Structure 1
Amino acid sequence: MKHCIIALMTVFGFLSACRSEHDKEHVAEKAALSPAEYVNPLIGASTSTGKAGVYHGLGKTFPGATTPYGLVQVSPNTITGGDNGSGYSFEHTSIEGFAFTQMSGVGWYGDLGNLLVTPTTGALKTARGKEGVAGSGYRSNYSKKDEKASAGYYATTLTDYNIKAEMTAAPHSGMLRFTFPEDKKSRIQIDLARRVGGTSTRQYVKVVDDHTIKGWMQCTPEGGGWGNGDGHAEYTVYFYAQFSKPFKKLGAWKADIPKDWKRKREDIENDRYQAQVAKAVVMDSVTELEGDHLGVFAEYDTKKDEQVLFRSGISFVSMDGAEKNLQKEITSWDFDALHKQAVALWNNALSAMTVSGGRDEDKRIFYTALYHTMIDPRIFADVDGSFTGGDGKIHASANYTRRTIFSGWDVFRSQFPLQSIINPKLVNDVVNSLLSLADERKKTYLERWEMLNAYSGCMIGNPALSVIADASAKGIARFDKDKALKYAVQTSNQFGNGERGYTVEPFGISNTLEYAYTEWCTANLAKSLGKEDIAAVFDKRGQSYRNIFDESEGWFRPKDKSGNWQPWPKEGRLKQWYGSIEANAYQQGWFVPQDIPGMVTLMGGKEKVAADLAVFFDKVPENMMWNDYYNHANEPVHHVPFLFNHVGKPWLTQKWTREICRRAYHNSVEGLVGNEDVGQMSAWYVLAAGGLYQVCPGKNRFEITSPVFDKVAIRLDPNYAKGKAFNIIALKNSPTNIYIQSAKLNGKAYNKCFIDYNEITAGGTLELTMGPKPNESFGD
């Protein structure tokens, strides 16, 4: 009897165990979220310099609604002025309104933030007012408790007016839903002059019918904007907007801004300017109006919880274009259906990479990072393919989509290597856009930081050449390579180390090293076209980095025009801005991606370099905020953790990439240690957390490192890749098992710490077995 009881208990235990495992699987299945559900657009949404501890601020992302690479971003704006490129910072307590265009993660004062829509009640106010001063303008305090941000959606409550505001988007258009209180003076007002880094300088509006208006806002350097005017941004935003509730009349305000007043960032921030706007002439009814500082409003008598919706198409081509964009994309007033459509677009885009294993927090960081890499370079063409070219004329292209916002100095490092795997068409769109822009503007060189057709000249180097050479090396180029080479040669000759073999101040180290790299890129492109004479010239220039290495100091050092060394600072390599932009010589000096063996030899060999790299990382603060050593908050060092792979210590690459993923990225507003920089900061995480990284765009070598996740599945584009998917599997992976013990590629033993791009795009599986201690024989 006893044995029977034991047997029954054993069977019962087995069944219970089965049920338990089944229940766990069921719960896991039930808890599984779609990629879009993991996205938290509030990650990085702060411009606070105080919390960053440096003038660059934190992530500078925007939390509003957009679609993958969409032209429209409907987002809350908490501030006009300062170095607040996103127009929003989480610690601000009031919102000016909700704009239809934004930038992501930029400094240099920013731009866009156009078509600012604000729901209000009570007496009309024409000026935005001051943060923290109740009733000083149309801005309103808002409820942090009610603030919600997700892929394709944003909502909050404007507490001064007791109005709930929700927004969603389509690629060229957006919709807002306002839930009003009972009030005889409810309204939707639009500040047409508003612009993040200054003001638009001319506006126009026309009433089409009792629920439709159209118009434009002209933005010029005289009104500040990108670089406070120094970025040369000059564009016109056209809109075609509709209200769900017909208005009996459309009112307007017109501020009298004296002709001799300047209208850049610092001017429009001051009290004098705002006082002038506050006493603008208000017109109860207009049918057509043009001026220098305009706003319009539709006023309603609303019942409690009455919803009034606003939708608008946006175009950089024409009002007709804006109308076509809206009519093509938003055909009803069904806000929830449009929101669902936006989420579907995000789920499809984010499915380019899927991850499993790891913490829920890690997935939220990963998918939000992937989301942030899909904001720019955004669509610049209308739904019919037409776009405004650099010559101011309207063009159309059948073989590429015109795009804009190329943050070159940032994104050539990680963003474009990532896109070359998951979205190679986008890479070609950008190259074609840059080549066409140069043709249209009749320039002899390619722009380094393009925004809305502007040759802004922002930052340094020739990053477009990196993107071009990389696409060519990978065999994914779908652009005129002969034209690309012509511009690469001209760009390198105009902005490069030239026959002198180095670049003088400012930023003699940064410029010399970065030009040497892109001159090498020019050589590689020339070789692919059989132009050996051109290749020989630029191969030699690719070695220019050697000309500024001072053996007496054992490091890179800037020279003057006569070839003499610049004085060595008492702080040595740690002196910020010594020959280096946004960095010190210690940080910038590691940038010789085209010839790492040559760099290592100059620096004293592998063991000496490995020891120096160890110091570079060991002295980093725990929170990895801005510092003098490995400074993940800024781009020049982003490749450095992977240099351990090149000096025979790949386990230290594995250690430090996992540490950076853990310490520099978080699921929080302050979750990015530096500016997002238009996808670069997030692209680094996506690649590194997935177990890959490309140190030198133009060479097809991808470093292998320790994945954060148990499995990473990469969807490949059949128009460019031989395979359908590439998978990275990490067996026995955990926060402690961070070291690669062994590897297999498609079932065969693999003992390299790198993999070729063509092996990735051929499809297959890289299987890594992980452990708690380094296997120093792996990857040697």
Structure 2
Amino acid sequence: MKKVLLPLLFALPFLSGAQAPSAEKLIKYVKPIIGTQKMGHTYPGATVPFGMVQLSPDTDTLIYEINGKYNPDIYKYCAGYQYTDKTIVGFSHTHFSGTGHSDLGDFLVMPTTGVLQLNPGTADKPESGYRSAFSHENEVSEAGYYKVKLDDHNILAELTATNRVGFHQYTFPKSEQSHIILDLMAGLYNYENKDVWTFVRVENDTLITGYRQTNGWARTRTVYFAMTFSKPFYQYGSKNYSKKEVYKGFWGRFDQGKNFPEMAGKHLKAYFDFKTEEGEKIKMKFAISSVSTEGALKNLQTEIPHWNFDKTRKESQELWERELNKIAIQADNVEDKQNFYTAMYHAFINPTTFMDVDGSYRGLDQNVHKAEKFTNYTTFSLWDTYRALHPFFNLIQPKRNADMVQSMLAHYDQSVHKMLPVWSHYANENWCMIGYHSVSVIADAVIKGNAGFDANKALDACVMTARHKGFDGIDAYMQMGYVPDDKNSSSVSKTLEYAYDDWCIAQMAKKLNRMEIYEEFIKRSQNYKNVYDASIGFMRPKLSDGSFKKQFDVLQTHGQGFIEGNAWNYSLYVPQYPAEMIEMMGGKKRFVTHLDSLFSMELPDAFFAETEDITRDGIIGNYVHGNEPAHHVAYLYNWADQPWKTQERVRMILKKQYHPASDGLGGNDDCGQMSAWFIFSSLGFYPVAPGSEQYAIGSPSVKSAVLQLENGKTFSIEAQNQSDKNVYVQKILLNGQALNRLFINHSEIMAGGKITFVMGEKPVKKAR
């Protein structure tokens, strides 16, 4: 990508299908604080749509393992911030949104006054370190902007961001001892006695560069930075907190702790000192790069060539306003709009940009590559996001989604395993969770006509991934038609998810007229039948000898062949063949009884003791909304001739699992998947089987919506007689004609037009 001026950089994403903002400002409905309490694991700080920088406060940074044992408290801080905490440690520049695993938290910055303290201190005694108490009364969290008063230092901190640059503005009191601390030890995936390596170079009295290498969830992650101050510091220094004496060699000739321009170490903290007047603002711009300090400096100079904080905040929020305006809704109350537009905000955070302004990025092979004619993205939580987030992008962000697929294909090209990403970020594959769900994302794009990439090459990559005998039981799966439980954990879940992914490959192959591949994978897609035990009516782990596991509990998760679900949930996971699954489970009447029981049963206490990420807040009966295998389940009534139950279940989930407060998410947002479920379901339809053109009909909770499509057309949704009581669909009109089916096609939406739901208080119990 050629070097371009800043206004053009901001305009580029909107040249295709750009729309004029609505008269009403939608950004006021975004509440980034939603999901920052309990399990939501979102962060309240500043970022732009799909931005590389996520500049946000951390209320604690804990050690992941202590004496070789997992620290359960670390789970709370996957995003660095918990709403119930009373202190802030500092502001770091990279964060995951809504994940169930921690990493990132790079380059923590904290402004302080008084005697210099380089230890963060403890939450119960913030005065023992540089952290500070704060109050939510003095905290503002908006899309693209964050503000908080640091009570212990009497400093007002304000944050905003562009794609690759975080912009800090600190208003200090009068002090002869004002400091800005750069803590290079701090992070969100720290191990006791395990090292990071950091380097800092003081270029002059306002510019600092360096890098940070970490060995955490991503085992080879390097992030470079360039930071610059609006005011020169008068002195600076550092301290290395390594528990072992560092051999200094000839470097011992220098006093490296103070005013020495090169700092390096495993446990390094730097500080920069200022003298400030009352109300004086010190601003700091902090750019990151995966390539080099030179790349970080170029990012900084290109994206924020000035010191106007308010200008950057305005531009950041204008970017959000444009994205939010892609769907304009009318709802009964402000709370519904806050839920909807915060869901859009969270959906548009990940995946994140992963390249410099010139297109350079670090690849999976740890070499530097250049993205040609596409934006390279990272943070692919695919086990979560293939279900609704990427289908939502195919509907409302197709160009970005095509670029995301290109990023996956670049990952494949750079992979020594020749595999598409499973869960990847920052030029690393984490191998987290199961399945090979990149193929679902790719197939969904191809089937829906959004293949802004080489579709045949993509199919070849999908096939190579699905035939990879060295990966997670695939060899046994190909030989036996299932993953044997005595050879591989989570065997039932893997069998079912592999079978779905195989169906996706078959659909793509058929679309591309690659019939030999189609025949191979459509046959493999039937493997779900091999782990169904008809004698008990549930999916069940099977052993290598072909027998079912004898010690088996349909309510337990761990050790029973499942992951993030139990036999009740996963017995319903055949999204590619819902009608056949229902028949296999005894027919529609028996299936509805099973599905009703899922929502109404009471779980034993042992269920909640099994896993850290399930609480009673996040479930309805045995339906666990925070665990994605169940996200399609409420829509399955449509295939059992009782769509009114889909309608009432969907509206119940919307009300119970989402509300506009810090604890407003019933589980991890998982990089936008929970939010994408909310958006689709609020609009009245949902992609039960990505890789199909069909969306299952539900019950819209909005009064109306207008989708601004990238092809320049609009698709309108109207829900007549909408209310909390009128949850049942009486009839549906598509462009004025009766829609006598329980699905709508993607192509019908993309053609533009209008769907009208006539709502009522009583269910319509007749075949459509």
| TM-score, structure 2 as length reference | 0.89
**Is contact 1:730–1:768 with CA below 8 Å preserved after alignment?**
yes
**Is contact 2:36–2:43 with CA below 8 Å preserved after alignment?**
yes
Map of 1:683 onto structure 2:
676
Pairing 1:292-331 to 2, within 5 Å after superposition: 292-331=266-305
Whole-Å Cα distance in 1 between the matches of residues 618 and 513 of structure 2? 46
Amino acid at match of 2:750: T
Pairing 1:554-633 to 2, within 5 Å after superposition: 554-569=537-552, 571-573=553-555, 578-619=560-601, 625-626=618-619, 629-633=622-626
**Is contact 2:256–2:263 with CA below 8 Å preserved after alignment?**
no
Amino acid at match of 2:198: Q
**Is contact 1:675–1:681 with CA below 8 Å preserved after alignment?**
yes
Amino acid at match of 2:26: P
Pairing 1:674-753 to 2, within 5 Å after superposition: 674-718=667-711, 724-753=713-742
Pairing 1:205-604 to 2, within 5 Å after superposition: 205-220=200-215, 225-226=216-217, 232-258=218-244, 283-494=257-468, 495=471, 496=474, 497-505=477-485, 506-569=489-552, 571-573=553-555, 578-604=560-586
Whole-Å Cα distance in 2 between the matches of residues 566 and 400 of structure 1? 48
Whole-Å Cα distance in 1 between the matches of residues 328 and 665 of structure 2? 22
**Is contact 1:99–1:114 with CA below 8 Å preserved after alignment?**
yes
**Is contact 1:577–1:584 with CA below 8 Å preserved after alignment?**
no
Shift of 1:444: 2.0
CA gap of 1:384–1:254, structure 2 versus 1, over 3 A, is same
Amino acid at match of 2:758: T
1:107-142 residue CA offsets vs partner (Å, 9 max, x unmatched): 23x111111110011111122222112322211111
CA gap of 1:499–1:288, structure 2 versus 1, over 3 A, is same
Amino acid at match of 2:201: K
Secondary structure of the corresponding residue to residue 65 of structure 1:
coil
- Rg larger in 1 or in 2? 1
Shift of 1:398: 2.1
CA gap of 1:534–1:292, structure 2 versus 1, over 3 A, is same
1:677-733 residue CA offsets vs partner (Å, 9 max, x unmatched): 111011100110111100001111101211111111111112xxxx61111100111
1:432-451 residue CA offsets vs partner (Å, 9 max, x unmatched): 11111121133222121111
CA gap of 1:335–1:575, structure 2 versus 1, over 3 A, is closer
Map of 1:263 onto structure 2:
none
Map of 1:67 onto structure 2:
48
Aligned partner (choices 744, 747, 752) of residue 763 of structure 1: 752
1:421-466 residue CA offsets vs partner (Å, 9 max, x unmatched): 0001222112111111121133222121111121211000111010
Whole-Å Cα distance in 1 between the matches of residues 332 and 765 of structure 2? 25
| Structure 1 position 662 matched with structure 2 position 655 | yes
Whole-Å Cα distance in 2 between the matches of residues 577 and 369 of structure 1? 34
Aligned partner (choices 182, 187, 197) of residue 179 of structure 2: 187
CA gap of 1:282–1:356, structure 2 versus 1, over 3 A, is farther
**Is contact 2:364–2:429 with CA below 8 Å preserved after alignment?**
no
Secondary structure of the corresponding residue to residue 237 of structure 1:
strand
Aligned partner (choices 38, 45, 48) of residue 36 of structure 2: 45
CA gap of 1:624–1:183, structure 2 versus 1, over 3 A, is closer
1:273-297 residue CA offsets vs partner (Å, 9 max, x unmatched): xxxxxxxx98231212222222222
Shift of 1:182: 1.4
Shift of 1:103: 0.8
1:287-327 residue CA offsets vs partner (Å, 9 max, x unmatched): 12222222222211112221111111111111111111111
**Is contact 2:87–2:126 with CA below 8 Å preserved after alignment?**
no
Whole-Å Cα distance in 1 between the matches of residues 281 and 409 of structure 2? 47
Whole-Å Cα distance in 2 between the matches of residues 660 and 626 of structure 1? 9
**Is contact 2:599–2:620 with CA below 8 Å preserved after alignment?**
no
Map of 1:24 onto structure 2:
none
Whole-Å Cα distance in 2 between the matches of residues 107 and 601 of structure 1? 35
**Is contact 1:358–1:708 with CA below 8 Å preserved after alignment?**
no
Unaligned runs of 5+ in 2: 1-21, 63-73, 247-254, 604-614
Whole-Å Cα distance in 1 between the matches of residues 530 and 213 of structure 2? 47
Whole-Å Cα distance in 2 between the matches of residues 775 and 485 of structure 1? 43
Shift of 1:574: 5.4
Whole-Å Cα distance in 2 between the matches of residues 112 and 153 of structure 1? 20
Whole-Å Cα distance in 2 between the matches of residues 342 and 641 of structure 1? 37
Amino acid at match of 1:250: Y
1:628-649 residue CA offsets vs partner (Å, 9 max, x unmatched): 6111121010000000111111
Whole-Å Cα distance in 2 between the matches of residues 355 and 623 of structure 1? 31
Secondary structure of the corresponding residue to residue 544 of structure 2:
coil
Map of 2:59 onto structure 1:
78
Secondary structure of the corresponding residue to residue 577 of structure 2:
helix
Across the two proteins, how many residue pairs are aligned to each other?
705
Aligned partner (choices 642, 645, 654) of residue 635 of structure 2: 642
Shift of 1:250: 2.5
Secondary structure of the corresponding residue to residue 593 of structure 1:
coil
Shift of 1:575: 5.6
CA gap of 1:524–1:93, structure 2 versus 1, over 3 A, is same
Aligned partner (choices 198, 204, 228) of residue 203 of structure 1: 198
Shift of 1:623: 7.2
Map of 1:125 onto structure 2:
117
Whole-Å Cα distance in 2 between the matches of residues 624 and 112 of structure 1? 28
| TM-score, structure 1 as length reference | 0.88
Secondary structure of the corresponding residue to residue 135 of structure 1:
helix
Whole-Å Cα distance in 2 between the matches of residues 616 and 290 of structure 1? 56
Map of 1:55 onto structure 2:
none
Shift of 1:410: 0.4
Map of 2:127 onto structure 1:
135
Unaligned runs of 5+ in 1: 1-30, 49-57, 227-231, 261-280
**Is contact 1:173–1:329 with CA below 8 Å preserved after alignment?**
yes
Whole-Å Cα distance in 2 between the matches of residues 124 and 33 of structure 1? 47
Map of 2:13 onto structure 1:
none
**Is contact 1:233–1:452 with CA below 8 Å preserved after alignment?**
no
1:587-632 residue CA offsets vs partner (Å, 9 max, x unmatched): 1111101111111111011121112111212337997524661111
Whole-Å Cα distance in 2 between the matches of residues 91 and 149 of structure 1? 15
Shift of 1:568: 4.6
Secondary structure of the corresponding residue to residue 755 of structure 1:
strand
1:308-364 residue CA offsets vs partner (Å, 9 max, x unmatched): 111111111111111111111112211111111111000001111111122110100
Shift of 1:558: 0.7
